[in-house]
């Protein structure tokens, strides 16, 4: 028996995929966050700044260039950049979900939901 795939959408903060659940059948349209953690944190000015910075770095580089999220965290966070590393990776996932970037590891495009370790971000090809 084949089933229609469940609807999905990206989390508004971390960009990870949210898959429809029965608990949401009445308010699926208003679901924005994948977890309590994302809901509590929300999408802050810093998150948006990280996303803008990443997009500028992608736009400045050559077509083939890729960006390390660490550069983005450093550009926005200064001395406190390490706190922004995970938010910078979330910004990258949001861009992937919007079709404006790809995340790669070892030069290969990977599924951002399961990215572990060092990643790079590039424009979609
Ligand atoms: Zn999330």
**Mean pLDDT confidence for 36-48:** 96
pLDDT digits over 54-112, tens only?
Answer: 999 999 988 778 999 999 999 999 999 999 999 999 999 999 999 999 999 998 999 99
Over the chain, what is the mean pLDDT?
94
Smallest CA-to-CA distance from 37 within 98, 89, 101, 87 is with 87
Separation CA 45–CA 96 (nearest Å): 19
Separation CA 110–CA 86 (nearest Å): 17
Separation CA 72–CA 53 (nearest Å): 6
Q: What is residue 1's predicted lDDT score, i.e. its pLDDT?
A: 61
pLDDT bucket at 40, cuts 50 / 70 / 90: very high
**Ligand 1 center–CA 49 separation, angstroms:** 18
**Ligand 1 center–CA 110 separation, angstroms:** 18
Q: Mention every residue, 6+ apart, whose C-beta is less than 8 A from residue 61.
A: 67
**Ligand 1 center–CA 61 separation, angstroms:** 28
Higher model confidence: residue 115 or residue 77? 77
Q: What is residue 63's predicted lDDT score, i.e. its pLDDT?
A: 76
**Ligand 1 center–CA 62 separation, angstroms:** 30
Separation CA 19–CA 12 (nearest Å): 13
Instruction: Give me the phi and psi of 99, to 5 degrees please.
Output: 75, 20
pLDDT bucket at 124, cuts 50 / 70 / 90: very high
Kindly state the tokens that stand for 52. 């803008």
Q: What is residue 89's predicted lDDT score, i.e. its pLDDT?
A: 97
**Ligand 1 center–CA 15 separation, angstroms:** 6
**Ligand 1 center–CA 75 separation, angstroms:** 23
Q: Which residues surround ligand 1, an ion (CB under 5 A)?
A: 11, 13-14, 34, 38
**Ligand 1 center–CA 12 separation, angstroms:** 7
pTM: 0.91
**Mean pLDDT confidence for 30-38:** 96
**Ligand 1 center–CA 51 separation, angstroms:** 15
Domains of the chain with bracketed CATH? 8-41 (no CATH), 45-122 (1.10.10.10)
């Amino acid at each position: 028996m084949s089933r229609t795939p469940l609807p999905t959408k990206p989390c508004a903060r971390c960009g990870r995929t949210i898959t429809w659940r029965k608990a949401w059948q009445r308010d699926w349209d208003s679901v924005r966050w994948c977890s309590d953690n994302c809901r509590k944190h929300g999408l802050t000015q810093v998150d948006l700044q990280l996303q803008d910075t990443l997009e500028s770095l992608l736009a400045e580089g050559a077509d083939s260039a890729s960006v390390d999220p660490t550069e983005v965290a450093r550009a926005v966070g200064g001395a406190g950049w390490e706190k922004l590393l995970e938010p910078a990776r979330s910004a990258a996932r949001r861009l992937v979900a919007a079709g404006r970037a790809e995340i790669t590891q070892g030069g290969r495009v990977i599924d951002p939901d399961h990215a572990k370790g060092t990643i790079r971000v590039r424009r979609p090809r």
